[in-house]
């Protein structure tokens, strides 16, 4: 399954206030859209995020998402940081 690298490209964008993770992530998913959604879901939102807040990982103007063909991990459905540690699912109870 493909691995995608997601990088912040607009770190000043207001949506970064709504992501716990703010640095490069790698996600293993079938498509770019699925990788973005996986990163958004796993990276979580701070408890104080307002209703309707949007993750920067879903926005191609705020983050890039490129196929990383040389990467042999993570496993399907996983997201990792640059140091190889796993980003665990931090979906907010309010559905953000």
More confident residue, 72 or 79: 79
Omega of the bond leading into 74 within 30 degrees of 0 (cis): yes
**Structure confidence at residue 89 (pLDDT):** 61
DSSP state of 55: -
Q: What is the structure's pLDDT at 92?
A: 40
Tell me the C-alpha distance between 55 and 62, whole Å: 10
- Supply the pLDDT for residue 16: 92
pLDDT digits (tens, 9 = 90+) for 19-67: 889 999 999 999 999 999 999 999 877 777 788 888 999 999 999 999 9
Q: How many CA atoms lie within 13 A of 59 on its CB side?
A: 16
Report the alpha-carbon distance of residue 2 to residue 24 in Å, rounded: 17
User: Is residue 91 scored above 70 in pLDDT?
Assistant: no
Residue whose C-alpha is closest to residue 67's, from 10, 28, 20: 28
- pLDDT value at residue 95: 38
């Amino acid at each position: 399954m493909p691995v995608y690298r997601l990088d912040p490209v607009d770190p000043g964008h207001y949506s970064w206030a709504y992501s716990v993770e703010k640095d490069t992530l790698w996600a293993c998913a079938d498509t770019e859209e699925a990788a973005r959604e996986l990163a958004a879901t796993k990276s979580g939102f701070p408890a104080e995020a307002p209703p309707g807040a949007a993750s920067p990982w879903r926005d191609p103007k705020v983050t890039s998402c490129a196929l990383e063909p040389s990467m042999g991990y993570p496993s399907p459905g996983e997201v990792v940081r640059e140091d190889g540690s796993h980003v665990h699912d931090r979906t907010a109870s309010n559905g953000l």
